[in-house]
Amino acid sequence: MTDNAIDVHGLVKRYGRRTVVDHVDMTLAPGRICGFLGPNGSGKTTTLRLICGLLTPDEGTGTVLGQDLITGHDIIKRQTGYMTQKFGLYEDLSIRENLEFVGRIYGLDRLHTRVDAALDRLGLATRQTQLAGALSGGWKQRLSLAACVLHEPRLLLLDEPTAGVDPKARRAFWDEIHALAATGITVLVSTHYMDEAERCHEIAYIAYGKVMARGTSDEVIATANLAAWRATGPGADRLAPMLTNAPGVTAAAAFGATLHVCGPDPAKVEAAIAALHPNPEIVWERAEPTLEDVFIHLMSLSTDNAGDG
């Protein structure tokens, strides 16, 4: 037995010769929010489905919510809320009708009261008669989340839940996620937004089936051992193309009128900068690497396995 909500080891999932999930370990305490980062096709969604019992691993063991990953998958599924990338509710039903339908699937008692509470919590009460298909992306997101938590799950899996949603709606969504985690619900969320990853208690970077980094945002940044520089001055941002493929440089990106450059070897990055035509108006200074820098650096170290199998 374990006190962790998730405690799985050596998870493997193969399709043909391609290993989509390659010996992934994951432990997560109750009430914690873990962000999954990684390029498209790197195994994030498959890992989520293995953890909640929707898929059976080819290898690996462990427990989820105190249940054996293999023999207890039916119990795990009933105690999990899963929000998929694509809106999965009925667009020709109203908000309330969708929630009542989900509640009946789970055989919930006090259905009317539960739906009322979900509508109030997610700010959907005044829109409850609207058809789901007529909602904007942000409101569909709220409805999906309401459906996920209607049966009071202990584990919440969110697969890129805020893609295409405006910043105000994203912030409201994350405020709600933290409120749910404060009640003891464990959350796994995949995202491509660095600001969302930084709102997680911890993150895991997965690339083509392998976990390449794990810890808090600060721990992941520190472990990467990247060196970064910032350039300011007229035309600094236009230097990015000259540095993008320079030896030792893993990222060179313009941010407004400034340029941010980083790499794992400080000497090589300094040499790349020195090789530029000197411009006294452009000032270079050391900077702190960001989570995005680490993301790009780890992508450069990983090998796409899409051609396998």
- Tell me the per-residue pLDDT of 75-134, one tens digit each, with 9 for 90 and over: 999 999 999 888 888 999 999 999 999 999 999 999 999 999 999 988 899 999 999 999
Asked which of 39-48, 68-77, 296-305 is least confident by mean pLDDT, the reply is 296-305
For residue 22, is pLDDT > 70? yes
pTM value > 0.85 = yes
Q: How confident is the model at residue 304, as a pLDDT? A: 65
Q: How confident is the model at residue 2, as a pLDDT? A: 58
Q: How confident is the model at residue 88, as a pLDDT? A: 86
Q: How confident is the model at residue 1, as a pLDDT? A: 47
Q: How confident is the model at residue 170, as a pLDDT? A: 86
- pLDDT, mean of residues 257-278: 91
Q: How confident is the model at residue 118, as a pLDDT? A: 92
Q: How confident is the model at residue 270, as a pLDDT? A: 93
Round the average pLDDT of the chain to a whole number and report it: 90
- What percent of the chain is predicted at pLDDT more than 90? 67
Q: How confident is the model at residue 207, as a pLDDT? A: 87
In angstroms and rounded to an integer, the radius of gyration of the C-alpha atoms of the chain is 22
For the chain, list the domains and their CATH numbers.
6-220 (3.40.50.300), 227-288 (3.30.70)
For residue 181, is pLDDT > 90? yes
